[in-house]
Amino acid sequence: MQWGVEVSDQPKQPTKKFDYSLHYAELDLRAHPELYRIGVGEQGVLLVQPYKAEILPHWRFATPEAAEESSQKIYQLFLDYLAAGDVVGADMARKFLQMGYTRARRYANHKGGKKYDGPVPDDKKGVSGAHGRPELPRTPEDPVKAESARIFKAKWDEAAANAEYKQLKQEHRERYG
């Protein structure tokens, strides 16, 4: 048993959701890709190591110039992970591209980036969604953040459409769930 989970040569039973119960701060998912679940959207993007440490320093969206540089660097990491046959790294890079889009859109629509009113209840922390909180009114669109979002969306779409990525992702799901 390692990191609070059993590690074996046998594939785990398939799961469809990202497993938030693992101790990600202690896990190296490059060494243990069998523990990674592709999940949906951006699930786990700020948890999975060593990829978070490798990608996060390059993630910027405050200006279109920063978004362009950031999205190109993260997309290059995506390609590098694919070249190494590292689907976990490629999926994490794809998630950072997606998160660049979603966060830039949030700031484009909501001054200061705050989308929902009130704190997240303790029993809902770490769960995606608004948790019944009302969305704050949208402000006039910030064209700078909207352009940053467009830049990230283009790279996110490019990554998601990559045939090699799709194949590795399918193989990972078939093997590990």
In tens, the pLDDT along 1-44 reads 444 444 444 444 444 578 889 999 899 999 999 999 987 889 89
149-171: per-residue pLDDT in tens? 999 999 999 999 999 999 999 99
Enumerate the β-bridge partners of residue 13: none
pTM: 0.82
Q: Would you tell me how many other CB atoms lie within 10 Å of the CB of residue 115?
A: 15
Cis, peptide link before residue 57, omega less than 30° from 0: no
d(CA 27, CA 29): 6
| Residue of 68, 72, 31 lying closest to 51 (CA atoms) | 31
CB-based contact 142:103 (threshold 8 Å) = no
In this predicted structure, the answer to whether residue 119 has a pLDDT above a threshold of 90 is no
- Give the residue, 19 or 98, on which the prediction is more confident: 98
